[in-house]
Structures are given as C-alpha cells and as structure tokens.
Structure 1
Amino acid sequence: MGKDACKRQIAFFMSVLLFLMAAPARAERLLDLVDIQGVRNNPLIGYGLIVGLNGSGDKSTEFTDQSLKNLLREFGVTQAGTDLKSKNVAAVSVHATLTPFVRPGQRIDISVSSLGDAKSLSGGTLLMTPLKGIDGEIYAVAQGDLVVGGAGASGASGSSVTINTLTVGRIPNGAIVERSVPSSFSSNREIVLNLRDPAFSTARRIVQAVNNKFGPDVARARDSASIVIAAPPDSSQRVTFMSVLENLDIEAAVPPARVIFNSRTGTVVIGQNVKVLPAAVSHGSLIVTINEDTKVRQPVAESLGLTVATAESEVTVEQQRGAVFMLPEAASLQDIISAINSVGASPTDLMSILQALKQAGALRAELIVI
C-alpha cells in the first residue's frame, strides 16, 4: 500500500472516530451498565456419543470404542472382539449454558464438538447425555439430531472442499433441565449491582437516580464497582421494583484516557481525553529494495564449454526525507490526528510515534497493547 493510500485510510478511520466522539453523551439504561449479583449463567458440560454417521466418524480413537462397548453392555450386548472400529460413531463433548431462573422441564440449546478424528458430524444423532455443573451434579439431559452449519465434498483422487467446520454443531432445545440452580436474588434482603466498568462517577450517579426515584437511602455505593439497594421482601413486588430499576437512565462516566494498539491487525484506537504536552516528532523511514536476476552465459562457438546460469542480486537502500511536526501544548485528539496525517504515517508508524511520545513523558494516556 502506498503512502497516499495509507494516509487516506488513516484519515477516513480517524474522521469516523472523531465524529463518534463529538456526539453528545447520551444516557444509558441501568440494565446495560450493571450485573445483578446472584443472577448469572452457569456452564454445563458432558461427554456423549454421536451415532448414525455415514462412515465419517472416529476411526482410530480408543476411548470411542470403549464408550461404545460400555453403551452396548448397558443393554446386555457383549462384544467378543477387542476392537469395534465403527466408523458411524463419534465421541463428542456436549456443553450448554444454564440461564438464570430456569426451571426443571424447560429446554435449553446445546453445542456439540468432536473429540476424536471424525471427519464430519453431519447427519448424526446425539444419544442421551447427562450434563454436569462445576459441582459434579447433573442439571440437564441432552439428546437429539445434530445441526451442522457446514458442508464438504471429496473426489476419488483425494481432493476435497470444506465449507465452515463439520465437526461442531448445535441442537436447538436439545437438553431438558432436570435441576435449577439456587439463586440468592429472592432470599437476600438487599440487591447488589456490580458495575461492568467500575467508576466512582457512575456509581454516584446511579445512587442519585435510584434515590430520586424510590426515596432517600434506598441505594448506597459500597465502592466504585458495587451498589447496594434495599429491595422489597415480597417476590412479586421485587420483580416490579427491578423492572423499574433496570430502565432508569444513567449517564455513564467518561472513560479514562487510553490508546489501544492491536499489533496483529495494526488497529489503533485513541480515546477522547488523550492529551499531549509540547513535543517535536521526526518521521522518516528507510526503503530497502532487493532485485534478484539470473544471467546466462553461453560458451564460445565450437568450444566444449557449458552453459552457466549465474544469480545476481542488487540491493539498494533509500532513506526517505524525514518530516518534523510540532505538537502544541495540551494538544487534543484533533491536533494529534492532523499532525500525524500531515506526514502520511501508516498505522505501524502511528503506533511507534505514540509509544515514543509516552516514553518521552509527553503523552497523557495509558497505552494498552492487545
């Protein structure tokens, strides 16, 4: 990508960023800012067998054969041989998420992933599989026909084409809940709200909004990350109380000044409150060019010489003319972007410049590399 293209790309993305940051702050629902303590998802996991595969199951996996033998033994079938080698069966891990307040008899979605060397799970059926929680107790039982969001085809020569992943699938409503997880939401006298992005300003505004809506001393901030609210003891009144509470409009605090780097993709995100002290930055680069060529030398006519091919390399180093730009005192985001765009810096150059400013003590922001 040329210098002009890089400059246009940076200018475009930075202009979009500036537009978004220039928009006035809007209030957000309290529901989008906090998590309710005691109201959470719980992961479930299980081990099972997929049957009915058209020769695309596990071929050389010992635990699949062992699981199939154990299954047959449960139904009184004894296998005389030592190796079943059934290509229509695959061992899989089954996982699901138990949502809050789910009750026995309700159904939840499950995901299935191959554990062995199966080529495809398409068309298979999951046999009855218990799903356990972290405590080892069974909370759901899964079974059903698998839906695989992929496709594959292969020819006699061994060539094949695969779209998406054939060894992972889902079964909508594939598990029946057998046990619910106890929740402290209804039993506790108080409700605790945990902020997803802790900030003292946001906690204070939530306390003010709740007390203005329901009366003084209903809410109090424990710290920057949690707020304690006195809720009605009656479960019906508590549900009504929470429905009003979660829809309160709260203006979240402005996030701290940060610059985020993604070294793998070259993405740079600059926060709104980033400031720069007076500094001078020089930007320049070296261009190294390597040209490979092969020259062939023919022997002289009527001689016994051989044709010789010689590789020749040409290496040139060119230093581009450096550019120096000044950043004024307390430069804003607009000033930083305008100055860097003026020298046509690429995203990689932008990361280097900002890191150098931070080392020099001129950048008032936290640098985060992801």
Structure 2
Amino acid sequence: MKKVFQYMAIAALATPLVAAQRSRTSLEVNMDNLQSGNSGGAGLTSRARYQRNNQPTGPGVNRPVYSKFIRTPISGVVYVRGMETNAISGFGVVTGLAGTGDSGDLVKSFMANSLRNYGIPVDATTLSSKNMAVVRVEAEIGPGDKPGALIDVRVSTIGDAKSLVGGVLANCELFGPNYDYVYATASGPVTNNAQSASGEAGSSSKNHNTVAIMSFGGKVEREVPTSITSDHGYIHLDAKKGQGTFSNMLAVADAVNRMYPGAAEVMTDGRTVKVAVPADLPESQHVAYLNSFLTQEIESDNAPRVIVNERTGVIVIGGDVRLRPGAIAHGAIVVTVAETPQVSQPNPLSGGTTETAPRTDISITEEAGALTAIPEAVTLQEVVDVLNVLGASPRDLISILAAMSDGGLLVADIKRL
C-alpha cells in the first residue's frame, strides 16, 4: 500500500495587468413580420418591422487584455425561463440477470408486490433468485416534449447487485418531484457497455456494472406545461452556467434595447435580464419576438475557470486562463507499507500448531523537488507548455494548480467535481 503526500512551495511575482479599450459591433435584427404600430408599454415600438442592418454600436468599454471575448448569439449566454428540463424518477426492477442481482429482502418484497398486481399471489419468502435487482430510474423531460416522445433514462442499483449486464428493465412509472402524476414510463433491455469476469482467486471488470444509460428507453406520457412569458407580460433571460458575468448580462440588455428601446433591464441579482413583451403583440407572435433578439450576437466574456476531478484525475482548462510569473517547487513524500506475514511451523511430534505472525515493513522516502521558475503565460498553449515543464502527474497537477491559485499565480477560478 502506498500513500503520497504533496507539499508545495510557491513564490509569486505579480505583474500589473494592462487594460485596453475595445470597440464592439453588433448585427441589429429588427422584426419584419409584424406590422408597425404604437407600443403597449415600457417605451416599446411594438409590431416594428424586422430589418437586418449592420450598424456599429459606438464606443465600447475598457476591458482587460487577459479576458478573451467571443462573439456569440444571445442564446449561447442565456436560457429562457420556463423552458427548462424537468427531472422525473421512479423505481423498477431489472430481471434476467445471470446471478448478479440483489440478495436482500427488498427485491423479494418488490417482486411479490408486482406479481400480486398481476393477480399472482406469492409469498415473498419463497423468492430466492438472484436474477433480479431493484433499481432507481431517472430521466429528464424537455420543454415541449409531447406524449409518445422517446427519452433517455438512467438506471442504477440501490441494493447489493453486482451487475446489470444482460438484464431487462420491467415497465415502471416515472413521477415528478411531488409524485403526483405519471409523466413517463420506462422499460427495455439494459445496456451499459460494461464487462466483468471472475474466478476463484480474483475478478476483473471494465466500466461501471451497476449503472446504465438506456437510449430512448422511456416514453413521455404527460406533457409538462411550459410558457416563455410570465403572467405580467415579461420574458426572463437567465444566465447559463458559467456565463453569468455582469458584462455578459449588460451586453444582452444593451443588444435587446438597441432593437426595442426600453424593453430590457438587468435585474438586481445581476444574473437575469427582464424583457417586456408589447401588450398588443398577439400570443402567436411571442416566439418570433423572442427569436428576433436571441439570434443577436454579443461579445461574451467567459470567466477564467479550471475544472478538476480529484477522483479521476481529469483536468479541464479554459482558453482564457492565464498565469503570472513566479516560481514553484514540488516534491513528494512516499510512504510504503508492505505486509509480509511470517509462518511458524512447530517441531515434529511437539503437538504444536502452525501459526502465522504478522510482519509489517514501513519505508519513507522523500523525492527531490527543484525550484522551477515559470514565465508569464497569456495563451492556452503557453499555459499548457508551462505546466508540462513541471513534469507532474495529473493528480499531482491538481494540487499544484490549487496551490498556484492560492499563491496568486493562476488567474482563474478552480472548481472541484
């Protein structure tokens, strides 16, 4: 058994950031399928014509050079409130397992109740097969999914089943959060691309055997009501994950207001833009009105972010991550614990017994770690080159990145999964 402990020494040399002015241009798209008329409120020109004109937006704002701006449609930065996906779930049973199912009383009671529903009375204590497993079934219904639409479902064991490979999910019902309505049903073969083999002295497996994704394994039975407009006549644009910067929200509101003056405003939470819908705009035109500004392009800035998964060693670095110059020393203390039991045999005809005495060997070694100077890195390739110079494994690199962030060298937020 080996344990590795990382100790980091970091010295940061901060350098001032340079700011530069950037001007922004935007493609203005005005509605051309509605008739011109007077506004119903909020200073809007309702039923304005849709016309496409390339017009400069005027002077921009000061932005630091280390931020990378990308021209993207508004729909890439925000989502429309009321058009979210909805989680549904239920419990079911997977049958046909080759002796890898549950062994407890839960699956016996579950199957006994299911058989009674089919008019087959059975005593739960008489069920002893390990070819069944109780599972949790989860899915998501998207906005506008109609009855009969097929959706993906996720199946996972909740008992001591060893594998779902080769099983079949019996028909089960999926409910909403309050378990009030059945929104979908799920059934069918369970496939998870997992393999396993075992013998008397060991076993081997590939991928996770107790979780499976069933593509199109569920069928929508009930539509979830959705609406893009609130009761007060507003459309709410909420920031997508990782896009909720103040500059992004202000850019969205600015783009909408250039098309429909006074229609949009940023809410006080800084993550939502509220857009007024003209009072005299027919409901059938709400989607066209919404689409007219969702397709507008803005200059979006993504917050610098590094995503790490300490369980798998996966590291994801965004293209706008920067490094300040500094120095890093990293080394490892390796603790090795080896168990070598010693067998003691008694002398012949002594009447003694064979005994096994535990024996533990412990060794501690410290790896040398030189102090490495790192230069400033302002592009993703430069960041990758600098980190590769350290020669650390992915798991060690996670600790290094966290220490660099604490030392002020890493210009990014670190999120651990």
Identity %: 25
CA change 1:283–1:174 in 2 (3 A) is closer
AA paired with 1:26? I
Deviation of 1:229 after TM superposition, in Å, equals: 1.0
Partner of 1:51: 95
Cα-to-partner distance string for 1:54-94 (whole Å, 9 max, x where unaligned) = 33322x21110001111122223222572311222221111
Contact 1:268-1:351 at 8 Å conserved across structures? no
Partner of 1:138: 181
Contact 2:68-2:302 at 8 Å conserved across structures? no
Partner of 2:224: 181
AA paired with 2:289? F
Cα-to-partner distance string for 1:162-183 (whole Å, 9 max, x where unaligned) = 2222322233333332322233
Partner of 2:277: 231
CA change 1:356–1:133 in 2 (3 A) is closer
Aligned equivalents of 1:353, 1:267: Cα separation in 2 = 15
Partner of 1:15: none
Within 5 Å, give how 1:8-27 maps onto structure 2.
Answer: 25-27=69-71
1:110 is the counterpart of 2:153: yes
Contact 1:122-1:146 at 8 Å conserved across structures? no
Within 5 Å, give how 1:164-313 maps onto structure 2.
Answer: 164-186=207-229, 188=231, 189-196=233-240, 197-213=243-259, 215-223=260-268, 224-231=270-277, 233-253=281-301, 255=303, 260=306, 262=308, 264=310, 265=313
Contact 2:139-2:152 at 8 Å conserved across structures? yes
AA paired with 2:134? A
Deviation of 1:239 after TM superposition, in Å, equals: 1.5
Contact 1:287-1:318 at 8 Å conserved across structures? yes
Deviation of 1:126 after TM superposition, in Å, equals: 1.9
AA paired with 1:239? V
Contact 2:402-2:414 at 8 Å conserved across structures? no
Deviation of 1:42 after TM superposition, in Å, equals: 1.0
Deviation of 1:190 after TM superposition, in Å, equals: 0.9
CA change 1:111–1:273 in 2 (3 A) is closer
Contact 1:152-1:160 at 8 Å conserved across structures? no
AA paired with 2:296? L
CA change 1:205–1:82 in 2 (3 A) is closer
Which is worse superposed, 93-102 or 133-142? Answer: 133-142
| Greater relative CO, 1 or 2 (CA 8 Å, sep 6+) | 2
CA change 1:244–1:369 in 2 (3 A) is closer
Deviation of 1:34 after TM superposition, in Å, equals: 0.5
The CA RMSD measured in Å over matched residues stands at 4.3
Deviation of 1:150 after TM superposition, in Å, equals: 2.4
Partner of 2:114: 71
Within 5 Å, give how 1:359-370 maps onto structure 2.
Answer: 368=414, 370=416
Aligned equivalents of 1:138, 1:96: Cα separation in 2 = 15
Aligned equivalents of 1:80, 1:241: Cα separation in 2 = 62
AA paired with 1:191? I
1:36 is the counterpart of 2:84: no
User: Which of the two has higher C-alpha Rg?
Assistant: 1
Contact 2:321-2:412 at 8 Å conserved across structures? no
CA change 1:56–1:220 in 2 (3 A) is same
Count of residues paired in the alignment: 309
CA change 1:170–1:270 in 2 (3 A) is closer
Aligned equivalents of 2:219, 2:208: Cα separation in 1 = 26
Contact 1:127-1:144 at 8 Å conserved across structures? yes
Deviation of 1:316 after TM superposition, in Å, equals: 10
Partner of 1:123: 166
TM-score (norm. length: structure 1):
0.67
CA change 1:109–1:151 in 2 (3 A) is closer
TM-score (norm. length: structure 2):
0.60
Cα-to-partner distance string for 1:225-244 (whole Å, 9 max, x where unaligned) = 11111235533211222222
CA change 1:346–1:104 in 2 (3 A) is same
Deviation of 1:346 after TM superposition, in Å, equals: 5.6
Structure 1 gaps of 5+ residues are 1-20, 291-312
Partner of 1:62: 105
CA change 1:288–1:217 in 2 (3 A) is closer
Tell me the SS of whatever aligns to 1:82.
helix
Aligned equivalents of 2:154, 2:332: Cα separation in 1 = 51
CA change 1:74–1:356 in 2 (3 A) is closer
Contact 1:262-1:369 at 8 Å conserved across structures? yes
